[in-house]
């Protein structure tokens, strides 16, 4: 095992270890479980949760108002029939991708460094999908009929219209949410059992006990667990590619200039990974600081994530260049106008912002120094988060607002309700995340223990 290609790769790159020195099985378990079980609730958690929960209430308020009056409270109109709702949907779905990539693909590739970040990255995936899932529902004119999107036998003998990418979306996103949840929960089982065993009071014991589903840590459990994880990873791997591919079909199947493009699937997937890693960094950096987890989420992790971001960013940049090139090369007057309009039209500033955020800024990641600086990594990740949101804005809005007939061109201006809903889903995400870090092990204990074993073996070998 020690000589697997992945490890070799890791060896060449050992500027920093993936686990801090001096840890044994007990110290790992103590350290991670103490966050939930023995520490008092930290003040910053209370404050952060309060703010997040307030934002969640803002979402509730905005959605209630929306359901009462209709989607007219947003800035959407004709020609821009999709606005913040779809932008946010794509943004959140994209963010989710990093979690699946880390937990599934990197698991299959035996990237050891993933173990200490995969748990919260997966949680991030789930919560991001939850946020994303809100939007297709509430953006409908008649959300109370959303169940018509699902294939179910009904008296009207009507099925969804399977040629529509929106119908595919339903399957793609719901499959993704299901697999991600299962994967995450299966991964949690041994750690939940650890919590059960270490819990001091009865209620906690019962709750974690039920959640642990009778895990006893027998060899056969471990063997089955390993198999289940691999199978789920195998299932989740194609999803990393398929979900955002299907989401990109929402656009590329349309005939709108700026949407109708074959480059969209790979470009969207790369964008999703890009955005996802940015979000993982955004979450990991404060977490390791606040919980003192520098030994588990080491500079090695941050460095690697920086590299993935750079690579994904370059693919996305290639996508932008190709879009612009095709605008010119296609010779299609509508495509050409769309490209120029993106760059120099009324929303031109947003396009250039996006270029700065998504192409220029990540170039700093070429420098080892930058990747070694927690502060700059965090800053770049935040910039990429914003940039990826802007990218979706550019795709959705600037394509629609000036399409074929100049007579129906228009401008889209988000309203306060657009913002409230968007910020509200950030509240939903953070609320869920705060609850997660308070009540569940945010780093996979059993997998880090495996790391301890591997490190020990390595030492022996030396």
Partner 1 sequence: METEGKNGKRPDVDIAALRQTASEGNAPRFWRSLDELADTPEFRVLAENEFPHGANDPGAAIDRRELLKVMAASAAFAGLTGCTKLPTQKIVPYVRQPEQIIPGKPLFYATAVTLGGVATGVLVESHMARPTKIEGNPDHPGSLGASDAFAQASVLGLYDPDRSQAEIHDGRIGSWTEFQTELSAALAEEKGASGAGVRLLTGTITSPSLAAQIRTFLKTFPSAKWYQYESVGRDNVREGARIAFGEYTNTVYRVERAEVILTLDSDFLTSGPGSIRYAREFARKRRVDDGEAKMNRLYAVEATPTNTGSMADHRLRLRASEIESFARALARQLGLSVAASPVGPSNVPAEWIPALARDLKQHAGTCLVVAGDQQPAIVHALVHAINQTLGNFDKTIYFTQPIEESPVNQWQFIGELAADIRAGKVRTLLIFGGNPAYDAPADLGLKELLPKVKFSVRLGLYEDETSALCHWHIPQAHSLESWGDARAYDGTVTVIQPLIAPLYVGKSEYEFLELLNGQTGKSPHDIVREFWQAQMTAITRFDEFWEKTLRDGVMAGTAFPPKQVSMKPGIGEQAPAAPPQGLEIIFRPDPTIWDGRFANNGWLQELPKPLTTLAWDSVAMLSPKTAQRLGLNSEDTIELKYLGRTILAPVWVMPGHADESVSVFLGYGRTRAGRVGTGVGFDAGWIRPYATPWIGAGLEIRKTGQKWSLAARQTHSTMEGRDLVRVATLEEYRKNPKFAQTDTEENPLSLYPPVKYEGYAWGMAVDLNACTGCGACVVACQAENNIAVVGKKQVKIGREMHWIRIDRYYHGDLDDPKTYHEPLLCMQCENAPCELVCPVAATVHSAEGLNEMVYNRCVGTRYCSNNCPYKVRRFNFFLFSDWETPSLFGLRNPNVSVRSRGVMEKCTYCVQRINAVKIKAEEEDRTVRDGEIITACQQSCPSEALLFGNINDPNSAVSKMKAKNLNYSLLEELNTRPRTTYQARLRNPNPEIEEAAAV
d(CA 430, CA 443): 17
Q: Which is nearer to partner 1, 23 or 402 (CB)?
A: 402
Residue 248 CB, nearest distance to partner 1 (Å)?
14
Residue 161 CB, nearest distance to partner 1 (Å)?
4
Residue 250 CB, nearest distance to partner 1 (Å)?
8
Residue 265 CB, nearest distance to partner 1 (Å)?
17
CB 233, CB 104: distance < 8 Å: yes
Helices (H) and strands (E) in the chain, counts: 18, 0
Q: Which is nearer to partner 1, 83 or 99 (CB)?
A: 83
CB 359, CB 317: distance < 8 Å: yes
Token representation of residue 345: 């039209």
Secondary structure class of 261 (helix, strand, coil): coil
Q: Which is nearer to partner 1, 43 or 142 (CB)?
A: 142
> Closest Cα partner for 268 from 396, 364, 376, 137?
396
Q: Which sign does the torsion angle of CA 107, 208, 280, 444 carry?
A: negative
Q: Which is nearer to partner 1, 43 or 163 (CB)?
A: 163
**Residues in CB range of 76: below 8 A, 6 or more apart:** 82, 83, 85, 412
Is omega for the bond preceding 203 within 30 degrees of 0, making it cis?
Answer: no
Token representation of residue 306: 């920086």
C-alpha atoms less than 13 angstroms from C-alpha of 42 in its C-beta half-sphere: 15
d(CA 429, CA 92): 10
Residue 337 CB, nearest distance to partner 1 (Å)?
6
d(CA 373, CA 371): 5
Residue 164 CB, nearest distance to partner 1 (Å)?
4
Q: Which is nearer to partner 1, 163 or 216 (CB)?
A: 163
Residue 70 CB, nearest distance to partner 1 (Å)?
5
Q: Which is nearer to partner 1, 42 or 410 (CB)?
A: 410
Q: Which is nearer to partner 1, 332 or 373 (CB)?
A: 332
Residue 15 CB, nearest distance to partner 1 (Å)?
49
**Residues in CB range of 209: below 8 A, 6 or more apart:** 196
Q: Which is nearer to partner 1, 79 or 387 (CB)?
A: 79
List residues near partner 1 by CB under 8 A: 69-72, 75-82, 139-143, 145-146, 148-149, 158-161, 163-167, 170, 250, 253-256, 333-334, 337, 400, 402-411, 413
d(CA 38, CA 51): 24
């Amino acid at each position: 095992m020690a000589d697997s290609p992945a490890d070799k790769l890791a060896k060449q790159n050992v500027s920093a270890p993936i686990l801090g020195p001096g840890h044994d099985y007990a110290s790992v378990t103590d350290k991670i479980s103490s966050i939930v079980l023995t520490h008092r609730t930290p003040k910053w958690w209370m404050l952060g949760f309060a703010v997040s929960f307030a934002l969640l209430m803002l979402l509730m308020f905005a959605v209630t108002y929306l359901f009462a009056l209709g989607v007219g409270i947003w800035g959407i109109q004709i020609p821009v029939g999709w606005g913040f709702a779809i932008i946010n949907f794509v943004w959140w779905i994209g963010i989710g991708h990093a979690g699946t990539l880390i937990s599934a693909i990197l698991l299959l590739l035996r990237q050891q460094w993933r173990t200490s970040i995969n748990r919260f990255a997966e949680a991030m995936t789930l919560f991001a999908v939850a946020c994303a899932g809100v939007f297709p529902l509430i953006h409908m004119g008649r959300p109370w009929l959303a169940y018509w999107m699902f294939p179910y036998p009904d008296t009207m003998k009507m099925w969804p219209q399977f040629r529509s990418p929106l119908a595919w979306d339903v399957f793609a996103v719901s499959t993704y949410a299901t697999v991600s949840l299962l994967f995450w929960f299966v991964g949690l089982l041994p750690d939940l059992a650890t919590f059960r065993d270490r819990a001091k009071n009865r209620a906690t014991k019962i709750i974690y006990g039920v959640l642990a589903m009778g895990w006893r840590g027998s060899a056969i459990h471990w063997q089955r667990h390993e198999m289940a994880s691999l199978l789920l990873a195998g299932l989740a791997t194609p999803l990393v590619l398929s979900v955002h591919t299907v989401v990109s079909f929402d656009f590329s199947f349309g005939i709108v200039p700026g949407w109708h493009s074959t480059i969209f699937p790979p470009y969207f997937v790369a964008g999703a990974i890009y955005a996802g890693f940015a979000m993982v960094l955004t979450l990991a950096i404060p977490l390791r600081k606040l919980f003192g987890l520098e030994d588990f989420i080491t500079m090695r992790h941050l460095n690697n994530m920086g590299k993935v971001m750079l690579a994904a960013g370059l693919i996305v940049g290639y996508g932008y260049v190709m879009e612009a090139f095709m605008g010119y090369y296609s010779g299609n007057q509508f495509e050409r106008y769309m490209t120029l309009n993106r760059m120099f039209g009324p929303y031109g500033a947003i396009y250039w912002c996006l270029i700065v955020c998504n192409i220029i800024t990540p170039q700093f990641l070429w420098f080892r120094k930058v990747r070694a600086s927690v502060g700059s990594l965090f800053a770049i990740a935040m910039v990429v988060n914003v940039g990826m949101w802007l990218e979706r804005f550019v795709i959705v809005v600037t394509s629609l607002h000036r399409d074929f007939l100049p007579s129906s061109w228009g401008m889209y201006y988000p309203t306060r309700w657009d913002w409230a809903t968007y910020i509200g889903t950030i509240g939903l995400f953070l609320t869920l995340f705060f609850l997660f870090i308070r009540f569940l092990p945010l780093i996979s204990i059993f997998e880090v223990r495996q790391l301890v074993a591997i490190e020990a073996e390595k030492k022996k070998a030396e």
